[in-house]
């Protein structure tokens, strides 16, 4: 059966078309999967950037905090808090 497909012209052309279509289909499925992976990676990067920005804000706020209670009370009296 297989040798018949490889030796007859029309059957050989049909087999070639089927193999070509299968290769194109597999390529498109792989391309889709790669796009999904890239989308997930971009989402993770965006989430990490937001978390880093929040962490930076917290560190900046901690750097500006008053060193003790007296400094805090003074800052509140001056209205700078």
Q: pTM of the predicted model, to two decimals?
A: 0.55
Q: What is the pLDDT of residue 49?
A: 97
Q: What is the pLDDT of residue 34?
A: 96
Q: Any idea what DSSP says for residue 64? A: T
Computed from CA positions of residues 40, 43, 48, 51, in that sequence, does the dihedral angle turn out positive or negative?
negative
Any alpha helices (H) in the chain, and if so which ranges? 2-7, 9-63, 69-78
Q: What's the angle, vertex CA 38, arms to CA 34 and CA 44, rounded to 5?
A: 145
Q: What is the pLDDT of residue 8?
A: 72
Q: Are 75 and 66 in contact (CB under 8 A)?
A: yes
pLDDT tens column, 15-40: 889 999 999 999 999 999 999 999 99
pLDDT tens column, 44-77: 999 999 999 999 999 999 998 888 999 989 989 9
């Amino acid at each position: 059966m297989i040798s018949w497909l490889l030796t007859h012209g029309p059957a050989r052309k049909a087999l070639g078309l089927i193999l070509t279509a299968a290769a194109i289909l597999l390529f498109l499925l792989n391309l889709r999967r790669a796009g999904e992976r890239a989308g997930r990676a971009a989402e993770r990067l965006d989430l990490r950037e937001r978390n880093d920005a929040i962490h930076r804000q917290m560190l900046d706020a901690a750097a500006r905090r008053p060193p003790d209670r007296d400094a805090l009370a003074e800052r509140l009296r001056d209205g700078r808090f």
